[in-house]
Amino acid sequence: MNDFDVIIIGAGASGLMAAIEAGRRGRSVLVLDHNPRIGEKIRVTGGGHCNVTNREISSGHYLSRNPHFCKSALARFTPAEFLGRLAEHGIQVQERDHGQVFCAGSARAVVEWLEREALAAGVLIRTSCPRCRGSAG
């Protein structure tokens, strides 16, 4: 196997977003998933519409040993920025109670968008991999 700067285990929402950002910064990135399809939870949650974000998100909604981490993470990438990215790619959303934002159509569009962005950033994605295991050493 080639050498990669970054290897990400799990092609879910987190892994794909991290892969896209790393790829855009010029890193060679490999994403491995044991499932045959990427983004499976995105596709099936929220009754197929996926609760993509919440407009009223704040650091007070998170429990953490380091509360400052989430303040800085949320300040650097806000729900509005994420919604802006979806809008740029023609993915329409619908706001429900308490600021919850869902895809207006199928969440499949989000998975397809993440896959396109990852491939455009040069990310290599491999599915149906043997399940990766942690190592004690």
Ligand X SMILES: Cc1cc2nc3c(=O)[nH]c(=O)nc-3n(C[C@H](O)[C@H](O)[C@H](O)COP(=O)(O)OP(=O)(O)OC[C@H]3O[C@@H](n4cnc5c(N)ncnc54)[C@H](O)[C@@H]3O)c2cc1C
Is 11 a residue that touches ligand X (CB under 6 A)?
A: yes
- Sorted by sequence, the CB contacts under 8 Å of residue 17 that are 6+ apart come out as 114
- Sorted by sequence, the CB contacts under 8 Å of residue 64 that are 6+ apart come out as 70
Nearer to ligand X, 37 or 60 (CB): 37
**For residue 54, what are the β-bridge partners?**
100
Using CA of residue 54, residue 101, residue 18, residue 31, what is the dihedral sign? positive
Nearer to ligand X, 35 or 59 (CB): 35
Question: Minimum CB separation from ligand X for residue 19, in Å?
Answer: 11
Among 21, 27, 28, 35, binds ligand X (CB under 6 A): 35
- φ and ψ at residue 8, rounded to 5 degrees: -110, 130
Using CA of residue 84, residue 18, residue 111, residue 72, what is the dihedral sign? negative
Nearer to ligand X, 12 or 23 (CB): 12
Is 117 a residue that touches ligand X (CB under 6 A)?
A: no
Question: Minimum CB separation from ligand X for residue 50, in Å?
Answer: 5
Question: Minimum CB separation from ligand X for residue 70, in Å?
Answer: 15
Three-class secondary structure of residue 6 per DSSP: strand
Is 55 a residue that touches ligand X (CB under 6 A)?
A: no
CA 12 to mean position of chain CA atoms: 6
Question: Minimum CB separation from ligand X for residue 94, in Å?
Answer: 13
Is 51 a residue that touches ligand X (CB under 6 A)?
A: yes
Interface contacts to ligand X, rule CB under 6 A: 9-15, 32-35, 40-41, 45-46, 50-51, 131-132
